[in-house]
Chains A and B, each alone.
Chain A
Amino acid sequence: MTKQVEEEAEALARVAVGAPGKQRSSRGRRARSTASAYGFMAPAAALVLTFFVAPGILLLILSLTNLSSANFSQAWNFIGLDNYERLFTDPFFPKIARNTLFYVLTTLIFFNLGLALVLALVTTSIPRRAGFFFRLVWLLPRLTPSVVYILMWKRIGSADPFGIYNQIVPEFLGGSGGNLYLGGSPWTFVILTNGFIGASFGMIIFTSALESIPKDLLTAAKVDGAGTWRIIRDIKLPMIKWPLLFIATYQTLSLLTSFEYILLLTEGGPGLFTTEVWALTSYKRAFASYFGNSQWGYGATWAIVLVTIALVLAVVYVKLFKFNELVEEPRIENL
């Protein structure tokens, strides 16, 4: 209380004396505000350090050892970059890299962005209640336990004459379009299972962004002579630019590291590495090698390389999409 009074008195005195005192105090204030800024950051920083940086360092150390279930009772053996050499010379490395690229890009473009956008645009253009209902339906896969969800897809994708797809669709198409099954078109099913779930996230974000576009703006565009397509292109898409870029970034990174649906659906098969992606390889090497031999060190190597790629991508995205413009100081005086 008295301190506050003192400060006020000091401030008054400074005003009376003039600029010099003011400068000193503003420097002091800046130092204090910097300190309190760090204070506010501390809890988040502690979390990141404990749950990301520390495990990351452990993983990095692990990737330099030959630790596996065959030798884990002995002391760690550091083997330098042997694991990394082994990774890049693995005969299936190019295939796994290609698979990962294909899986991420296809799912991202057609579903997590494309379908999400279409769903958001459609469900915001129909009556509110109907739109809400359709979005709810599209959320169901996300709400379903993954094992149940994948079991459903396996049932859908059973080979002819079983399989829900093969029993229904050819009938409607007059005999054509038959015999689409999991073993025959594994990628189709991998992309569909992931895409149906992935699309709902973007859909929710895009929907709220689209609904926050002022109605007057759309009315103005209609009066100006824009049809549905031009309104989407010229008004709606530019106005949801940031959510679009955010979803692109976020979903690239989460697809890059996701593997659980592929594991449940195809285990990376059928055959050798047909649908195996990077994160799945990492998991398999570390925890589920074919010969009952978990190679923790080698699995960690796959993970480290993946995390590095993800970090680089994240930085590229942030730079490319100029995300720092989003957090630019507001220019109130220009309003």
Chain B
Amino acid sequence: MRVELDNLSKSWDDVIGADRITLDITDGELVAFLGPSGCGKTTTLLMVAGIYKPTGGTISFDGHVVNEVAPKDRGIGMVFQSYALYPHMSVFGNISYPLRLQKLGKGEIKERVQAVADMMGIGDLLDRKIAQLSGGQQQRVALGRALVKQPDLLLFDEPLSNLDARLRLTMRGEIKRLQEDLGITSIYVTHDQVEAMTMADRIAVMSKGVLQAYDVPEALYDRPKTLFVAAFVGNPPMNFFDVDIVRDNGDFRAKSEAIDLVLPQDRGEKAAAADGKVIMGVRPEDINVVGDATPPAEGLTLNGEAVVVEPLGREDLVGISINGVDMRVLVDKTKEVAVGDTISLVFNTSRAQFFDPETELSLLWA
């Protein structure tokens, strides 16, 4: 099913939950709503579900405006962070509830519930009470309940947030596989960007009720249109520096008291269009320690001091200060960096981002 949100807004008196959200979701697509707590993800989702009445704009399913359609007539299934299972019903009672409301025959209900439960791997738990299930099992029941009525649209509100890290990983893959196999259009709300990056076909990044960006994951990562998106997407987050763009013998350079780096021609030219001060962003993996693999390069190498070393296992996240400017860099374990060491860094400025400090819009992509 195609879903279109057109200037969709919701506010309560003086609180704005969602502010003129416009986006379209094609049939069979999984779209993630990503953003920090309180940015309006749930609000938008509940409007799509028909629980909240929009205060402005429209929601269309397959071209039909559904603003006035009751939740039960929207053909949706929903999964919650809290699971929201009915505690007084058994597993069978929970999964069969949507079908019982449709007044289907006993035999058909039984068949369909069993089929869905088997698909979710909980076929032998149908008689259990909800309180007798683990969190992971409960989430499977919740998924089963959402799927059993064969919805046209699946809504997920942080479904994995209450699970432990390992289970989250497996469930993530499972949900994605199910969604692809069944081809059900889905909206997946999360504040976990790894979840969004790995599962979603497209990601809608939100902040303070406003849609910041809506694109495929790689585009958000490589071509962030706003400072917020650049800062929010990616872990560990992008480093930002206040710099002046100056022209020097035909070369563009990013300069500040601490930094002096040569920029590639194309990016430098666009960054220089802002006329002076800009915010430069460089991802931790685009800053390398000088060594055999990365020899020092003219105009791209700076020296700094390691101030924090956080072992991540495969590599260390090292906090480095270059004349008082702080940044985070991923360093191979074998380099054995210690606090206080002086390190030479090579910046990959061909992947650097530039933002206007006033508008916070990208100078490269906006």
Contact = CB atoms under 8 A, between A and B. Distances in A.
Partners in one complex: yes
Contacts of A226: 72, 97, 101
Given A234-B97, A334-B132, A223 B86 contact: no
Interface string B117-146: 000000000000001100000000000010
A235 B101 CA distance: 13
Given A224-B101, A224-B145, A335 B49 contact: no
Interface string A216-227: 110111111111
A331 B86 contact: no
A222 B51 CA distance: 8
Contact of B72 (A217, A224, A239): A224
A238 interface: yes
Contact of B101 (A217, A219, A230): A230
Nearest to B128: A334
Interface stretch (B76-84, B168-176, B237-245, B351-359): B76-84
Interface residues of B, number: 26
Contacts of B84: 214, 216-217, 219-220
Main secondary structure on B side of the interface with A: mixed
Nearest to B135: A335
B86 A222 contact: no
Interface in A197-221: 214, 216-217, 219-221
Contacts of B166: none
B52 to A, nearest CB: 10
A222 B50 CA distance: 9
Main secondary structure on A side of the interface with B: helix
Interface string B21-54: 0000000000000000000000000100111000
Contacts of A331: 131
Contacts, number: 66
Interface string A307-323: 00000000000000000
Contacts of B98: 224-225
Given A214-B82, A216-B80, A230-B101, A222 B131 contact: no
B191 interface: no
Given A214-B82, A216-B82, A334-B132, A223 B72 contact: yes
B225 interface: no
Contact of A334 (B80, B131, B149): B131
A116 to B, nearest CB: 21
A238 B88 contact: yes
A223 B49 contact: yes
Given A214-B82, A222-B72, A234-B97, A335 B88 contact: no
B55 interface: no
Please indicate which of the listed interface residues B51, B70, B71, B77 has the most CB atoms of chain A within 10 Å of its own CB: B71
A335 B102 CA distance: 31
A335 B131 contact: yes
Contact of A219 (B49, B131, B145): B49
A212 to B, nearest CB: 12
Contacts of B78: 219-220, 223
B132 A217 contact: no
Contacts of A241: 88
A189 B94 CA distance: 46
Contacts of B88: 238-239, 241
Given A225-B149, A238-B88, A220 B72 contact: no
30 contacts: A216-B82, A217-B84, A219-B46, A219-B51, A219-B78, A219-B84, A220-B80, A220-B84, A220-B86, A221-B86, A221-B97, A222-B49, A223-B50, A223-B51, A223-B77, A224-B97, A224-B145, A224-B149, A225-B72, A225-B101, A226-B72, A226-B97, A234-B97, A235-B86, A238-B86, A239-B87, A239-B88, A241-B88, A334-B132, A335-B131
Interface of B: 46, 49-51, 70-72, 76-78, 80, 82, 84-88, 97-98, 101-102, 131-132, 145, 149, 155
Given A217-B86, A224-B72, A335-B131, 20 more contacts: A214-B84, A217-B84, A219-B46, A219-B84, A220-B78, A220-B80, A220-B86, A221-B97, A222-B49, A222-B70, A223-B50, A223-B77, A224-B97, A224-B101, A225-B149, A226-B101, A230-B101, A239-B87, A334-B131, A334-B132
